[in-house]
Structure 1
């Protein structure tokens, strides 16, 4: 990329040197907060020398309307980023777009005005967002006497006392005379040295708070990297829109770089067929494509501000601010109405999808955007629309509130569900493969396909399946075994279909059970017919095989051939079918199990050879050289057992039942 560009949209007059990020680097993001006209922008200018008001309207009116950014070395040897936010109540939504990802809040209070409405609201927002570090700048100190300065400092201390920012130091400063600026700069530099570098191990996420087009470069998006890292050449996705893009260039903390890391403000120059400024809006999240799973509802713990006039009840309307996104939402308390000054579990149902991660903090404001009502933290991005308040569901939410990811994983495995989809768990927390593997090891759980569960739970599943088969064989000695789906529904916890298939195949490989078509049995189980029925079956058997195996005679034909009553033929064949020796394809049409397996292999092959995976009944008929009616009967039989999926007159193999009617030693995909 030849163009020169930076976060402030102004082309740089000299290219900054490209610095590699070292393990001990400390990049800090400072966010301003405070009432309108209390001197936030002037203070940032005094600290950095950068004018963050860049719009003509901002300069004309003397107020900040959009987010502004500035960067400076405060003396600690690193580049500190400042996010300057509007103070006017009409632009609180813009302030919220810039509040995510900050390491330290610079709360600005004018000494002549003191604490004002937006001071309180901005402080409430910082508290709800979980910001734990702050420094207070008592601006315009040159306009008041020492006594009033002391009064203002006491008022500020009292305001901060019930919040996470209690005890934050207060620095009297004047952006006009320069008084107190060196001391404040030194305090910020000290805070920067105490800032821990965020881990870059997670998957990449960057909420987009600005997008613009720069001549010679193209589309640029900006935001703070919340997790992971991004490199030039990476392919990313924008969520929830689903747009894909390639990263052409990066500026991290206002420096050209090859990589951007968690904790840095970054500008990404994007390229892509559908990428344009018009389609990328504030609220999109640039992320690792594996994380693209937007949601329209989530469960959370919600805290309501004490200033709210009444409780928040079911279907309460609000504006949700999460990251840089703002959407309409409805709140559904899960236990009781949320009282002012208290917190509780709730589900947020959104007007449109957003990209989020478990643990993300959010703010709720009233629908007229005049006041902040509360906020909270995301617990579950895949919340159910029904039965959301049942005891079993509340037990899952209690597990999700554990303090560490491994503790959450263990608690979920001990909840009534008993299973954790580890892939979804990692995706919704932006965990890398390395982090996920370490988490699984720390939790002490084991994997069954993609499901994590306690070793004791897996052992219980194994014992229960064997015990169920033993009981079934005792009660039904003449039956081949128990149907797979019947077994799945009897076991607890209930395994999803694909996971259950992996489970029984592993158990069969270990020799604890045997797979027999759509049935399960113990390895030693061998059903038998009575001697009379066995003799009749042995007479019938040759008629079902050979070249005519795909079109065997029906019951009436066999009855005429052997001069035996139709009912007796039918009863004997049904007994043999229950033992898995033959299959009843239609009412009076029986096929050898080996023939069924051969036809199932044909079905799987037709699916592989079809361009879309879907094949027609005539294509199957031609393979078995049978009539259309019989071919349809056979395919209907496979539909009933789940080997095939049907769409109008087309069918395709069901990948989750691929091993049905496949010999145990054969690969069902072969």
Structure 2
């Protein structure tokens, strides 16, 4: 499906144009019919040959309803700007065009209507000059008459070409912007809106400001559907127990976005908006407090939290002067501003922001993969980055922390530091980060981070025994050697204890001896399971036997890495966000 917004001044023929394309009347409210203008968002649909289903969002053209207009335009990427041949360039056409430009809408077409009432050439020339200064500068134009039908076939063909060239949605997470909510007998609460990304199906559990909801049914363009993918106009039946949702609510994949009440943004033009403008994003709007970081960069404090991602587009509006500022979200999870010069320093950090995964890792230095996903920048760590469990460190940040770690270990004496203490010493919370930083002249010995010259030297027979253990565990790192195998290799008693203390082997439970790093790898594999998991599922994930799995799980419980539930299942304890 494709979704197209119509924009333009009141009484310039937008609704007539949509009626001619679809055979349906977008002005469905009694008040709209009485007054002869759109005061709410109207929806119609049709099919275009070679394109398929097309839904039209007809937005109000009257200046009093600019908030509703922005709600209709906010989630869409294709627009028809409509101007009349028998009228001059009008204020609402300019305001709608400014909104489309601010929302970075680049695909659509310019339509001059009422060509039967006046020569369309002057109106077309003026409109092309205005459009030429915006993101819609390259759109095609069509001249039509809604009354006589002249030009309508060319309009359909041109619109089809535009829709075929328009980019598809990005991302698989559901983002539905609600614009209406009502109750239907037998279906309960129903919401309608524009599905900007993802796919919705009956049975899906989604997240709203009011908590989670379950989708009972999905309808699009008047028909029930087994699933609908973005972009689309959809209605979701949420059942009688669902909360009533306000216009502007986002219905999203649970945990997929950052719920932000403070956000750093780029605005244009660069001059300063008022201190308390209105923020329009998607179909939502709310009051915010704007703090300049430098011209063109702002920190916004929102009156309520919104689910946002890096790269989201919106509009700041001054209700007094009606001026608009284009807005791009740079960081929906920014650090606090503390101390003199903090705003200037933050502006420098945001310079050159490109919204890529590499850029996010470089700017944040240390970040969890979960936060990167919610920011909308998932993927494998970029070249030069260091992966430490669920954390990603930029190359520069890793080198800074390594230097600090080496200094801390040198100051701790021959015994070195436990990983948790080492993490605290360099200002991070997760011991996995400290372990990932270990390299010469540091090493791991007896579970502690020490200088290499403090590590235990190996005798030849010990090196041979360790080589044999590594060979046994190659390909199956959790197939721990039996006690008989350890005796055969001479690895028992004080000798085995010394090798464990030196960090050459790792005890991971009663009678379980594995290679260093096995515990962290076990946690990584178990975290990939559906939570909570059974001992049998853990054994399969680790590719090992009950002899190893049960004491290893008890070891992870004791270390606080997993938690055992009353029904004997377990779950991996989440690492702290970074």
1:419 matches 2:340? no
Q: Give how far 1:229 is off.
A: 1.6
Assess if the C-alpha contact under 8 Å between 2:280 and 2:286 holds in 1: yes
Q: How does 1:156-555 map to 2 (within 5 A)?
A: 156-199=127-170, 201-238=171-208, 241-271=209-239, 273=241, 275-276=242-243, 279-291=244-256, 293-304=258-269, 311-312=271-272, 316-335=275-294, 338=295, 344-368=296-320, 371-387=322-338, 389-390=342-343, 392-398=345-351, 401-402=353-354, 405-409=356-360, 412-413=361-362, 415=363, 417-429=364-376, 436=378, 439-441=379-381, 443=383, 445-454=385-394, 457-458=397-398, 461-462=401-402, 464-473=404-413, 481=416, 487-488=422-423, 490-491=425-426, 494-495=427-428, 497=429, 499=430, 501-504=431-434, 512-514=443-445, 521-522=450-451
Distance 1:657 1:196, change over 3 A: closer
**Structure 2 gap segments, 5+ residues each:** 456-557, 564-571, 574-578
Provide Cα deviations, 1:121-165, integer angstroms capped at 9, x if missing partner. 000000010001221111111111x3xx21111111111121111
In 2, are the aligned partners of 1:253 and 1:264 still within 8 Å (CA)? no
Alpha carbons of 1:229 and 1:166: their partners in 2 closer, same or farther (altered >3 Å)?
Answer: same
Task: Flag structure 1 segments of 5+ consecutive residues without an equivalent.
Answer: 1-26, 306-310, 339-343, 527-652, 659-666
Q: Distance in 1 between matches of 2:222 and 2:349?
A: 43
How many Å separate the matches in 2 of 1:507 and 1:329?
41
Residue aligned with 2:68, SS: helix
User: 2:214 touches 2:238 (CA, 8 Å); kept in 1?
Assistant: yes
The answer to whether the 8 Å contact 1:250/1:257 transfers is yes
SS in 2 for 1:299: strand
**What does 1:27-38 correspond to in 2, within 5 Å?**
27-38=1-12
Q: Could you tell me which residue of structure 2 aligns to residue 80 of structure 1?
A: 54
* CA-to-aligned-CA distance 1:187-215 (integer Å, 9 cap, x gap): 1122222234334x521111111112223
- On the 8 A contact 1:299/1:378 being kept in 2, the answer is yes
Q: Single out whichever of 33-42 and 458-467 deviates more from structure 2.
A: 458-467
Alignment deviations for residues 617-658 of structure 1 (CA, whole Å, 9 cap, x no partner)? xxxxxxxxxxxxxxxxxxxxxxxxxxxxxxxxxxxx996999
Q: Where does residue 115 of structure 2 map in the other structure?
A: 141
Question: Residue 171 and residue 460 in structure 1: after superposition, are their counterparts in 2 closer, same or farther (change >3 A)?
Answer: closer
1:335-368, Cα deviation, whole Å (9 max, x unpaired): 2xx4xxxxx1111112222222221111111134
Under a length normalisation based on structure 2, what TM-score does the superposition of the two structures give? 0.72
Measured at CA, do residues 657 and 472 of structure 1 come closer, stay the same or move farther in structure 2, by a change above 3 Å? farther
Change in CA separation of 1:357 and 1:272 when aligned onto 2, cut-off 3 Å = farther
SS at match of 1:121: helix
- Gap change, CA 1:460 and 1:385, over 3 Å in 2: closer
- Tell me, yes or no, if the aligned pair for 1:284 and 1:355 is still in contact at 8 Å: no
Secondary structure of 1:424's aligned partner:
helix
Contact kept, 8 Å, 1:317 with 1:328, in 2: the verdict is yes
Alpha-carbon distance change, 72 to 444 in structure 1, aligned in 2, over 3 angstroms: farther
Map Cα deviations across residues 235-281 of structure 1 (whole Å, 9 max, x no partner): 1111xx232111111123544321121212221111363x14xx300
Where in structure 2 are the equivalents of 1:565-580 lying within 5 Å?
none
Q: Aligned in 2, Cα 1:91/1:448: closer, same or farther, shift over 3 Å? A: same
Question: C-alpha deviations, 1:474-495, integer Å up to 9, x for none?
Answer: xxx7xx555877744553xx42
Partner of 2:466: none
Matches of 2:27 and 2:125 in 1, distance apart? 31
SS at match of 1:291: coil
Q: Summarize the Cα distance change of 1:419–1:211 in structure 2 as closer, same or farther, 3 Å threshold.
A: same
Distance 1:467 1:353, change over 3 A: closer
- Aligned equivalents of 2:562, 2:425: Cα separation in 1: 19
Instruction: Please give the alpha-carbon distance, in whole angstroms, between the structure 2 residues aligned to 1:112 and 1:133.
Output: 26
**Counterpart check, 1:71 vs 2:45:** yes
Relative to 1, partners in 2 of residues 1:458 and 1:354: Cα closer, same or farther, differing over 3 Å? closer
Give the equivalent residue in structure 1 for 2:526: none
Counterpart-to-counterpart distance in 2, 1:215 and 1:298: 40
**Is the Cα contact below 8 Å between 1:507 and 1:513 reproduced in 2?**
no
1:257–1:174 CA distance, 2 compared to 1 (3 A): same
Quote the Cα distance in structure 2 between the aligned partners of 1:207 and 1:515.
Answer: 55
What is the CA–CA distance in structure 2 between the aligned matches of 1:40 and 1:654, rounded to whole Å?
66
TM-score calculated relative to the size of structure 1: 0.63
Q: 2:88 aligns with which of 85, 107, 114?
A: 114
RMSD over aligned Cα atoms: 3.2
Distance, in Å, in 2 between the alignment partners of 1:205 and 1:179 is 39
User: Alpha-carbon deviations, 1:432-489, whole Å to 9, x = none?
Assistant: xxxx3xx22555533213221245754664565345423442xxx7xx5558777445
From the superposition, tell whether residues 398 and 654 of structure 1 become closer, same or farther in structure 2 (CA, over 3 Å).
farther
3-state SS of paired residue (2:112): strand
Say which is worse superposed, 441-450 or 75-84, in terms of deviation: 441-450
**Counterpart in 2 of 1:530?**
none
In structure 2, the CA distance between the partners of 1:253 and 1:317, relative to structure 1 (3 Å rule), is same
SS at match of 2:351: helix
* Cα displacement (A) at 1:65: 0.9
Higher alpha-carbon Rg: 1
Q: Distance in 2 between matches of 1:441 and 1:486?
A: 26
CA contact (8 A) 1:242 1:292 kept: no
